[in-house]
Structure 1
Amino acid sequence: MTTPLIRPELVTSPDGPFLAAAELTQRESRAVSSHAHARGQLMGALSGLVSVGVKRQQWVVPAIHAIWIPPHCEHSIRSHGPFSGWSVFIAEHRCDALPREPRSIRTTPLLRAAVRRAASWNGSLLDVQQTRVAEVILDELAASKAELLGLPSPEDARLVRITDALVCNLSDTRRLEQWAEWAGLSPRTLSRRFVAETGLSFAQWRSQARLLRALELVADGVSVTTIALELGYENVSAFIDMFRRATGTTPGRYAAAGGSSVD
């Protein structure tokens, strides 16, 4: 049984403080089945990586990032190996000025410091000083910019067949025309349906799937060479270039920032 991250009444009850926070560090993987609650949840990682399933999408939460889950939004959670992170639960009536849709954000030092302070509170009504800290958290979330760390799923059965095959083997380098023939539709239909159902082109979707898998492997401490081969890159340099364009840094530096180590 998964140990509750925070006292259940602080999540389910409209009473109590408008903001409650908790931190968690554990060596084993953590999995929480699909659920929803009236409070909005901002969940961040300090080290390791978490996958969150929301609205036909899979989101990843690598270190120094967080995902915002609005009130009543059904979601599931799974960590990949050892994990250290935090969650903030915000009363529904204080979420009106916050993003209406789930989003992944890069956390700021100010946000992380405020959350750490809030995680030390005992769950009682907030005093004046605590309220100021809580308001900082709300302000930082409201001002945050969305980061592309989600992977939307198509609905067309033919497209699902393709995406399922790709996720199982991201080293598969078949071109769009070859995938279309394999799935029994024209290249033009495949291209048009992919954009209509996911908002991404086929090439963009595959690149995003590779990036999210790379983040998981980096968090697990897998070597750069092994990751490049698993994801179908011709050489390590090509993989590092992709990773740098997507994240602004190299896999090694990204891992170091999250508390992992990559050879």
Structure 2
Amino acid sequence: MYGKSEDRDDYQDVPRPLAAMARDLADGHHIPPHHHRRAQLIYGTTGAITVTTGQGSWVVPATRGAWIPGGLEHAMTCAGAVAMRTLYVAPGAAHRMPAVPTVVSVSPLLRELIDEATRLPVHYDVRGRDGVLMRLLLHELAPHPVTALHLPAPSDPALAELCAAVRRRPGERWTTGAAAAHAHLSTRSLQRRFTAATGMSLARWVQQARLVHAVTLLARGTPVTAVAGSVGYATPSAFTAMFHRALGASPTGYFRGSV
């Protein structure tokens, strides 16, 4: 469709400030940990993408993008069929963007610019129409952070194993007592160490884990009723209320870019 390489390495050393690539990825497609010289904006027009770094995981639905600074190792996993449109930005070309991973909003204009950029030759004419389009895209590439589905990753082995268990079984009642017993810690020690390691309370982390699981299922087209049950809610209405409080939209509205 686009007639361009789908190999990220082919976009790192082009003599242009911006390079854009399109890939259509299947549900469950996983890209192992890797890094590249250029910063990257990861954006999918469909589905959701989980981006994982040493600092944690971010879930990025359609209408949002993940900014990954150059040189940072990261992995990606798709939920649902993902039409990925990604930008590779030369060092210094997007000076307003942060030096840390960030989930950003993708406006309708930016979405159209990104899609058009993927259709341009890698060696586009910087003095012609294509160059104007790419300069406008860089101008529109600004840090507009949105509420992110972020799960910080603790380095403490006991806490890391606890977090993995929560992610495997998000529908369980992870009370402080149950979590402390799982981690072989006292409740006081767990609360203190967990907050210090993640910057979140255990209750907040569990809720984020449930939201991450829910968004992943929703991206695959799972009905809201089934999603609610999988994350421990007795009724879809209770789940929808929690989802709206946390993310500012209904489970379906979240994927329509209503936030």
TM-score w.r.t. the length of structure 2 is: 0.89
Worse-superposed segment, 228-237 or 91-100: 91-100
In the alignment of these two chains, the number of paired residues is 253
Give the conservation status (yes or no) of the 8 Å contact 2:48–2:61. Answer: yes
SS at match of 1:79: strand
SS at match of 2:67: strand
Aligned equivalent of 2:44: 45
User: Structure 2: which 5+ runs fail to align?
Assistant: none
Write the mapping of 1:219-230 to structure 2, written as runs, cut at 5 A.
219-230=219-230
Q: Distance in 1 between matches of 2:68 and 2:179?
A: 34
CA distances 1:92-128 after superposition (whole Å, capped 9, x unpaired): 1314432110111121111101111211110114234
Aligned equivalent of 1:261: none
SS at match of 1:23: strand
Write the mapping of 1:7-156 to structure 2, written as runs, cut at 5 A.
8-11=9-12, 13=13, 15-27=14-26, 29-125=28-124, 126-156=126-156
Q: Distance in 1 between matches of 2:239 and 2:8?
A: 43
Q: Distance in 2 between matches of 1:154 and 1:29?
A: 25
1:242 paired with 2:248, answer no
Cα distance change, pair 202–50 in 1 and its aligned pair in 2 (3 A):
same
**Equivalent AA in structure 2 for residue 9 of structure 1:** D
Q: Distance in 2 between matches of 1:174 and 1:22?
A: 41
Q: Distance in 2 between matches of 1:185 and 1:239?
A: 30
Worse-superposed segment, 125-134 or 102-111: 125-134
Q: Distance in 2 between matches of 1:76 and 1:161?
A: 20
- Shift of residue 53 of structure 1? 1.2
TM-score w.r.t. the length of structure 1 is: 0.88
- Shift of residue 91 of structure 1? 0.6
RMSD of aligned Cα (Å): 2.1
SS at match of 1:142: coil
Aligned equivalent of 2:200: 200
Q: Distance in 2 between matches of 1:27 and 1:177?
A: 40
Cα distance change, pair 215–28 in 1 and its aligned pair in 2 (3 A):
closer
CA distances 1:5-36 after superposition (whole Å, capped 9, x unpaired): 3563322x1x4211011222344643221111
Cα distance change, pair 154–143 in 1 and its aligned pair in 2 (3 A):
closer
SS at match of 1:60: strand
**Equivalent AA in structure 1 for residue 227 of structure 2:** I
Cα distance change, pair 203–4 in 1 and its aligned pair in 2 (3 A):
farther
Cα distance change, pair 134–187 in 1 and its aligned pair in 2 (3 A):
same
Give the conservation status (yes or no) of the 8 Å contact 1:16–1:123. Answer: no
CA distances 1:15-71 after superposition (whole Å, capped 9, x unpaired): 421101122234464322111111110011111111111123111121111100011
Aligned equivalent of 1:188: 188
Cα distance change, pair 225–194 in 1 and its aligned pair in 2 (3 A):
same
Give the conservation status (yes or no) of the 8 Å contact 1:153–1:160. Answer: yes
SS at match of 1:47: coil
Cα distance change, pair 243–28 in 1 and its aligned pair in 2 (3 A):
closer
User: Structure 1: which 5+ runs fail to align?
Assistant: 259-263
Cα distance change, pair 182–95 in 1 and its aligned pair in 2 (3 A):
same
- Shift of residue 230 of structure 1? 0.6
Cα distance change, pair 116–107 in 1 and its aligned pair in 2 (3 A):
same
Give the conservation status (yes or no) of the 8 Å contact 1:111–1:136. Answer: no
Q: Distance in 2 between matches of 1:103 and 1:60?
A: 11
Q: Distance in 2 between matches of 1:34 and 1:229?
A: 32
CA distances 1:138-189 after superposition (whole Å, capped 9, x unpaired): 3333242243222111122221222121111111113112321332212122
**Percent of counterpart pairs with the same letter?**
32
Aligned equivalent of 1:158: 158
Q: Distance in 2 between matches of 1:145 and 1:41?
A: 16
